Amino acid sequence: MNKIWAPWRMKYILSDKKEDGCVFCNAYMTKNDEEKLVVYRSEYSFVIMNLYPYNAGHLLVVPNKHIDSPDLLDQNSKLDMFNLVTRSMQVLEEALHPDGFNMGMNIKRVAGAGIEDHMHIHIVPRWNGDTNFIPIIADTKVISEGINDTYQKIKKVFKD
């Protein structure tokens, strides 16, 4: 049997996973961006890494306002979020060199929204060959880099 080592996961396994309030509102209000994995802030929205990523570099673009649907966004927020989506793709291309992207929003619980009260846009970098038999056979996704290492790469490119 082959073993997959991921020692950084122990911090997550032993942590208290319940958070008071909205996880995105808490990230918006934080004084410690690195702790909450916020990589960039703009006037109307921000970019945060997904703590439970589908792939390394999985980003979320989140409006600063606590709303549950894009139809509640004002025009400035819509434009800002879309600009952050395209900027995030450019940053991911420079930092991680993916071969493509998946993007989307899950609006309401029935659509798969894990955080249904605060809308957000997923940007998932993809690489040729990044899917394999492990998710099918073992119901496990292998993320090939620690989230803090990926955070530093992405944050550096956003700063430049």
On the question of pLDDT at 145 being above 50, the answer is yes
Q: Which fold has domain 21-159?
A: HIT family, subunit A (3.30.428)
Confidence at residue 7, expressed as pLDDT on a 0 to 100 scale? 63
As annotated, the active-site residues are 120
pLDDT digit string, tens, across residues 62-121: 999 999 999 999 999 999 999 999 999 999 999 999 999 999 998 888 887 788 899 999
Q: Please, where are the H alpha helices in the chain?
A: 9-14, 23-29, 33-36, 75-96, 134-138, 147-159
On the question of pLDDT at 17 being above 80, the answer is no
With beta carbons less than 8 A apart as the criterion, state whether 86 and 59 touch.
Answer: no
Residue range 21-44: mean pLDDT, rounded: 95
Give the confidence band of 142 by pLDDT, cuts at 50, 70, 90: low
Separation CA 160–CA 156 (nearest Å) = 6
Separation CA 140–CA 124 (nearest Å) = 17
With beta carbons less than 8 A apart as the criterion, state whether 104 and 126 touch.
Answer: no
The domain limits of the chain are 21-159
Please give the residue that has the higher pLDDT: either 129 or 115. 115
